[in-house]
C-alpha cells in the first residue's frame, strides 16, 4: 500500500513525496488507521522505524480537516517528550509534514528564554510538542490553555514513566476537559512500565508491537571489541582514522568523560564535538547543527542525547562506554541504520564492563558479534605515538568543566 492511496490531505501526500516516502513502514501501516479512527494506541517499535511520522501524519490530517482557516483557536494536541533534543526533533517533523496545511506546530522546552515562546503561543498553535518542566511553568502562568486538547501523545513513553513523569502525565490528563485520545509510543518498554502505560489508556486501546523479540532495527549490525578502559582512546583514534569519511556518534558515560575524549582526539588532530547536559540549550543546538552540516564528523555524546538525535547518514555508533541501562543501548544504536539506511554499532567493552555486556545481550536475546584483536595488533594500536595527556591538561580540563558549570548555573538563574 502506498501513501498516495491513503485518505489523507493532498498537501501531506505532497510533503511525504518530497521527502521520498512512498510506502508506510510497519509501525506507520499499523498505527495510522487506528489513530485516524480516534482509538487509543500503545505502540512499541524499533528506533529508526518512523514512529514520529506514524502519529504526526494522522494528527496533522485530523486537525487540518477540522479547521476552516489557518487561524488557530486553541491547542488541539499535546506531544509530551522527555528531552529537549527530542522536542526539537519532533517539532521539525511536524513542521515538515504540515507544510501547506492549516496546522501550526510548536516545540517548547526549557534552557532558553521563555518570552519569545509565550509570544508564539499567544499567536496561536494547534500542536504543542513539549518537555514537562517548561510546559507546566507556562500552564501555571496562564500562557498555555489545554481546555481544547483532544489528543495526548507520549513519545518515548518508557523514559517518561521511568523518570517519574507519571504524576505530570496524570496532572495533564486531569486538566483535559474534552474527551481525548491517548497515544503511547516507545522503542522499549518493560513489564512494570507497561502496567503504568495501560493505566493511562482506555481498556480498548490498540496494542501494536513491531519485532518484539528484537528491539533493534535489522538495519543495524553489532560488534564488540574487548578493550581495557585506559586503552579505549587509542582504539577510538584508530577506528576514526580507518573510517576517515564516516559520520560517527560516540557515546560515553559522563559529561567530564565526553570533554576528555574531545581533548584526546584534538591532540592527534581529529576534530570532534561534545554534547551533554552541562551545555546550555543554545550550545547543544549549535553542536547538532555543526554535526549535521559536516563541520565535524565526530560527535561525542552522553545518554542525554541518545533519544534526541535524528541525523541522516550516521555510519557508525561507537559505545565508548557501555550504558548502565540496557534499554539505552537500543536508543544509542538507533541513531544509525534509520529508515532504509544500513548502520553499524561498535562497542568497546573493558573487563569491568563485562556484566553490562551480558545484560545487554540478554535484553537483545542474541549475542553481539565479537571482533577479535590479536595481541600483536592490540600492542601496535596502543603503542602508536600520541602527544601524552599531561597533568596540566587534566587540570585545564577540570577548570574548563568547573567554569562551564558556573556559567550554566548563572544562565539558569537568569532564565528562571
Q: For residue range 198-226, list pLDDT tens digits in order.
A: 777 788 888 888 765 666 777 889 999 99
Q: For residue range 355-365, list pLDDT tens digits in order.
A: 999 999 988 87
* pLDDT band at residue 412 using 50, 70 and 90 as cut-offs: low
* pLDDT band at residue 167 using 50, 70 and 90 as cut-offs: confident
Average pLDDT rounded to a whole number, residues 164-186: 86
Give every CB contact of residue 287 below 8 A, 6+ residues apart in sequence: 273, 274, 275, 279, 299
Instruction: Tell me if domain 3-209 and domain 220-405 are identical in fold.
Output: yes
Q: Which residues pair with 275 in a beta bridge?
A: 301
Q: Where are the domains of the chain?
A: 3-209, 220-405
Note the CATH number of domain 220-405: 3.40.50.300
Burial class (CB in 10 A: 0-12, 13-18, 19+), 126: buried
Q: Which residues pair with 181 in a beta bridge?
A: 151
Average pLDDT rounded to a whole number, residues 287-304: 90
Distances (CA, A) of 11 to 138, 141, 198: 32, 36, 35
Average pLDDT rounded to a whole number, residues 1-23: 93
Residue 317 above 80 pLDDT?
yes
Q: Which residue has the higher pLDDT, 337 or 315?
A: 315
Residue 114 above 90 pLDDT?
yes
**Residues 328 and 359: beta-carbon distance below 8 Å:** no
Q: For residue range 389-399, list pLDDT tens digits in order.
A: 555 555 555 56
The architecture (CATH level 2) of 3-209 comes to 3-Layer(aba) Sandwich (3.40)
CA distance 245 to 165: 41
DSSP per residue over 207-268, as a string? Answer: EEESSTT--S-TTEEEEEEE--GGGHHHHHHHHHHHTTT--EEEE-SSHHHHHHHHHHHHHT
Reading the block at residue 264, the C-alpha cell is: 584526546
Average pLDDT rounded to a whole number, residues 350-379: 91
Reading the block at residue 240, the C-alpha cell is: 576514526
Residue 63 above 90 pLDDT?
yes
- Within 10 angstroms of residue 401's Cβ, the number of other Cβ atoms is 16
Average pLDDT, the chain: 87
Amino acid at each position: 500500500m502506498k501513501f498516495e492511496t491513503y485518505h489523507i490531505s493532498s498537501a501531506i501526500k505532497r510533503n511525504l513525496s518530497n521527502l521520498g516516502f512512498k510506502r508506510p513502514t510497519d509501525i506507520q501501516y499499523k498505527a495510522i488507521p487506528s489513530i485516524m479512527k480516534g482509538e487509543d494506541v500503545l505502540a512499541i517499535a524499533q528506533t529508526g522505524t518512523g514512529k514520529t511520522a506514524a502519529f504526526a501524519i494522522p494528527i496533522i490530517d485530523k486537525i487540518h480537516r477540522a479547521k476552516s482557516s489557518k487561524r488557530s483557536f486553541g491547542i488541539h494536541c499535546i506531544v509530551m517528550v522527555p528531552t529537549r533534543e527530542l522536542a526539537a526533533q519532533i517539532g521539525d517533523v511536524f513542521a515538515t509534514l504540515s507544510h501547506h496545511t492549516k496546522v501550526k506546530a510548536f516545540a517548547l522546552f526549557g534552557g532558553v528564554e521563555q518570552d519569545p515562546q509565550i509570544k508564539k503561543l499567544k499567536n496561536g498553535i494547534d500542536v504543542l510538542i513539549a518537555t514537562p518542566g517548561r510546559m507546566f511553568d507556562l500552564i501555571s502562568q496562564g500562557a498555555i490553555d489545554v481546555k481544547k486538547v483532544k489528543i495526548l501523545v507520549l513519545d518515548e513513553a518508557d523514559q517518561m514513566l521511568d523518570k517519574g513523569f507519571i504524576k505530570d502525565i496524570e496532572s495533564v490528563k486531569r486538566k483535559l476537559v474534552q474527551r481525548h485520545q491517548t497515544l503511547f509510543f516507545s522503542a522499549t518498554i518493560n513489564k512494570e512500565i507497561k502496567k503504568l502505560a495501560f493505566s493511562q489508556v482506555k481498556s480498548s486501546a490498540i496494542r501494536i508491537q513491531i519485532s518484539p523479540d528484537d528491539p533493534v532495527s535489522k538495519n543495524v549490525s553489532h560488534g564488540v571489541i574487548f578493550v581495557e578502559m585506559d586503552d579505549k582512546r587509542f582504539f577510538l583514534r584508530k577506528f576514526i582514522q580507518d573510517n576517515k569519511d564516516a559520520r560517527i556518534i560516540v557515546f560515553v558515560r559522563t559529561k567530564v568523560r565526553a570533554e576528555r575524549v574531545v581533548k584526546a582526539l584534538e591532540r592527534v588532530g581529529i576534530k570532534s564535538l561534545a554534547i551533554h547536559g552541562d551545555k546550555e540549550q543554545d550550545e547543544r543546538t549549535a553542536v547538532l547543527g555543526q554535526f549535521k552540516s559536516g563541520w565535524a564528523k565526530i560527535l561525542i555524546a552522553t545518554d542525554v542525547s541518545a533519544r534526541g538525535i535524528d541525523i541522516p547518514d550516521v555510519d557508525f555508533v561507537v559505545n565508548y562506554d557501555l550504558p548502565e541501562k540496557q534499554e539505552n543501548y537500543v536508543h544509542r544504536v538507533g541513531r544509525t541504520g534509520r529508515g532504509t539506511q544500513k548502520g553499524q554499532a561498535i562497542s568497546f567493552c573493558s573487563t569491568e564492563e563485562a556484566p553490562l555486556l551480558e545484560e545487554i545481550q540478554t535484553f537483545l536475546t542474541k549475542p553481539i558479534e565479537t571482533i577479535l584483536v590479536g595481541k600483536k595488533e592490540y600492542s601496535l594500536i596502543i603503542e602508536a605515538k600520541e602527544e601524552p595527556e599531561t597533568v596540566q591538561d587534566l587540570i585545564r580540563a577540570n577548570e574548563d568543566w568547573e567554569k562551564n558549570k558556573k556559567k550554566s548555573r548563572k544562565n539558569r538563574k537568569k532564565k528562571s
